[in-house]
Amino acid sequence: MPLTVLNAQLGRSKKFLKKIVPANAIKEKVKETGLKKVIPATMIVAESFGSFSPHAQNVNKALMAYNGIFETKNITNFMPFMPKAKDENIFPPLGSFNFLPRNHFKRDSECLREPYNGTAELLDYFIESLIPARKGTKNYNPFYGKAESFIKIGQKYNINPTVLVAIGMQESARGTSFAAIRKNNIGGIMIKNGHARFNTVEDCIETMAKIINNRLNENCTTIETIGKSGRYCDKKAADLWIKNVLFFLNRM
């Protein structure tokens, strides 16, 4: 359906709603929902979805062309919905019909060795949705395009790769910290003189996996027990660390 037709339909819908919905109804509803409680938790996701990388934009355009929904011009803010393929020989770009996060973990979930059954492309999609854009792009970020590395290293140490990503997101402010950008240190790894420097992001991911594996061998089997152990983050910051890691973890 052409974009001009959709815009016309949208305009008619808005006029119809103005006739049947009282002007102050929406304001009253907003007050009732208490947005102050949910805005801080959702700002990260809203900001991240505002600007996709060129790779994600191409995926979005291809999906809409596949569905015949919109004309594919200057599209940057579309969250793709994956329909079932009508033709067995036609598959959407990411080879998966499920774009919803797969993790639903709690503080006491024993998820550290939970196997990840998604693809690298799917994990890259979720990572890109979490990292912020800079000057309209996300490829500056050390997390960008690293899903395959997270998965391979996670398999090597039998660690859930999404746990590694989530801890890294928390420790590096979503890949924007000085240590992450200048030292490839996305895991908040410390040495005597401050943050450790790594030759590659993969070296840091492997060090993180070794640390988590050591904590598992010490019977720290959940995000909560790792946080409260004081063996990855300061005990005083444990509650916030646990909350934030779970926030990122459950968006993959």
Sign of CA dihedral 14, 16, 19, 21: negative
Highest mean pLDDT among 9-23, 55-69, 131-145: 131-145
- End-to-end Cα distance, the chain: 32
Q: What angle do CA 103, 153, 82 make, to 5 degrees?
A: 40
Residue 248 pLDDT: 98
Cα–Cα distance for residue pair 42/238, rounded to 1 Å: 21
In a domain, 98, yes or no: no
Same domain, yes or no: 62 and 178:
no
Determine the pLDDT at residue 16. Answer: 52
User: Do 12 and 65 reside in the same domain of the chain?
Assistant: no
- Contact between 80 and 59 (Cβ < 8 Å): yes
The H or E element that residue 100 is part of is none
Phi, psi of 181, rounded to the nearest 5 degrees: -80, -40
Residue 128 lies in a domain: yes
Statement to judge: residues 215 and 235 lie in one domain: yes
Contact indicator for 125, 142 with CB cutoff of 8 Å: no
Which residues, in sequence order, are CB contacts of 249 under 8 Å at separation 6+?
103, 105, 111, 162, 163, 165, 166, 223
Give residue 143's pLDDT: 98
Same domain, 148 and 215: yes
Q: Is residue 97 part of a domain?
A: no
- Are 168 and 56 in the same domain? no
Q: Which of 25, 53, 80 is the last residue of a domain?
A: 80
Question: Which CATH number fits the domain that encloses residue 159?
Answer: 1.10.530.10
Among residues 25, 59, 80, which one ends one of the domains? 80
Q: Would you say residue 179 lies in a domain?
A: yes
Domain co-membership, 218 together with 237: yes
Residue 177 and residue 241 in one domain: yes
Tokens coding 220? 């720290």
Summarised one tens digit per residue, pLDDT across range 33-73 is: 454 444 344 444 434 333 444 444 444 444 444 344 333 33
Instruction: Please tell me whether residues 242 and 145 are part of one structural domain.
Output: yes
Host domain of residue 157: 120-249
Poorest-confidence range of 91-95, 100-104, 106-110, 214-218?
A: 91-95
| Distances, alpha carbon 144 to alpha carbons 2, 111, 124, 133, 141, in Å | 34, 24, 7, 11, 5
Residue 141 shares a structural domain with residue 235: yes
Of 80, 106, 141, the residue at which a domain comes to its end is 80
Residue with tokens 């959702």: 42
Contact 172, 179 (CB under 8 A): yes
How many separate domains does the chain show? 3
Segment 156-176 mean pLDDT: 98
pLDDT tens per residue, range 174-217: 999 999 999 999 999 999 999 999 999 999 999 999 999 999 99
Residue 206 lies in a domain: yes
- Tell whether the model's pLDDT for residue 144 goes beyond 90: yes
* pLDDT of 19 strictly over 80: no
CA separation (Å) from 239 to 11, 24, 31, 244? 47, 40, 29, 9
Assigned domain for 214 exists = yes
Residues 143-149, mean pLDDT to the nearest whole number: 98
Q: Residue 99's pLDDT is what? A: 80
In a domain, 86, yes or no: no
Which residue, among 103, 209, 118, has the nearest Cα to 156 in the 3D structure?
209
17 and 60 assigned to the same domain: no
Residues 55 and 25 placed together within one structural domain of the fold: no
Beta bridge partners of 190: 195
Q: What's the confidence (pLDDT) of residue 156?
A: 97
Any domain includes 157: yes
Hey, which residues does 137 pair with through a beta bridge? 134
Say if residue 181 is in the same domain as residue 241.
yes
* Encoded tokens for 64: 């809409």
Q: How far apart are CA 101 and CA 122, in angstroms?
A: 10
Rounded distance, CA 12 to CA 7, Å? 9
Torsion of CA 209, 212, 214, 219, to 10 degrees: -150
